[in-house]
Amino acid sequence: MADRIGDSAAKAFQEIHPNNPLNKLNDSDRKALWASLMAYAYASRTERGERANTFFEEWESMSKTVADAAKLGARLKSQVFEGTSSEALRPFTAGFEDLPMRLIGFSKTLGEALNSSGKRGHKAKILATQSLIQASEFVRLKTGQHYDEHLAELFQAIGNRSAAEELSGDAIRKKREYLKKHYPALYADAVKWAKTEHAS
């Protein structure tokens, strides 16, 4: 398996321009970079991206239920505990006064956890982007620069033409900035992975 990965990585690097600075990477680094780009390529393809989205369907359902819990908490507060019939219902609601706020707090806490890897319907796409940013940060650590245009060239050499047509150096930069701004925890994980690979 390791030889197949090495052969595939070597083939991709043979297809990029001789002056591409990524050619200075050693074989081990080339394999690591190739693996990250392949992970991105896998999730970027429409058919496989749909499979990845299917993987997150359970989380999507939970995320919706958790969001509904906050709405329910707000309705309980306004209708049952503070509504016109709240006094008449007190014998039945006594001891449950904190229920609406607990539901809202539960929804906020669990919702943040469930949505940390992307908003509902976008988790697979965000995690695919994370793989690409791992590769980008790995290049920066190894060379001192992101070299996004050169990384895009290598990605095209891997052979995922449908996704490669839209992937440019500028697109990689924008994806990196988006992940860093909107999903800092996932960006930090991407950098952590890159640092671990850089140190190995």
Has residue 119 got a pLDDT over 80?
Answer: no
Has residue 121 got a pLDDT over 70?
Answer: no
pLDDT tens digit sequence for 137-192: 999 999 999 999 999 999 988 865 555 456 899 999 999 999 999 889 889 999 99
Residue percentage of the chain with pLDDT more than 70: 79
139 CB burial (10 A radius; 0-12, 13-18, 19+): buried
Contact 115, 64 (CB under 8 A): no
Distances (CA, A) of 180 to 47, 75, 80, 82, 194: 27, 36, 42, 42, 15
Element (H, E) at 115: none
pTM check: above 0.75: no
pLDDT confidence bin for 117, thresholds 50/70/90:
low
Has residue 15 got a pLDDT over 60?
Answer: yes
- In angstroms, the CA 103 to CA 80 distance is 14
Has residue 32 got a pLDDT over 70?
Answer: yes
DSSP character for 147? -
Give pLDDT, residue 109.
85
Has residue 52 got a pLDDT over 60?
Answer: no
Give pLDDT, residue 47.
47
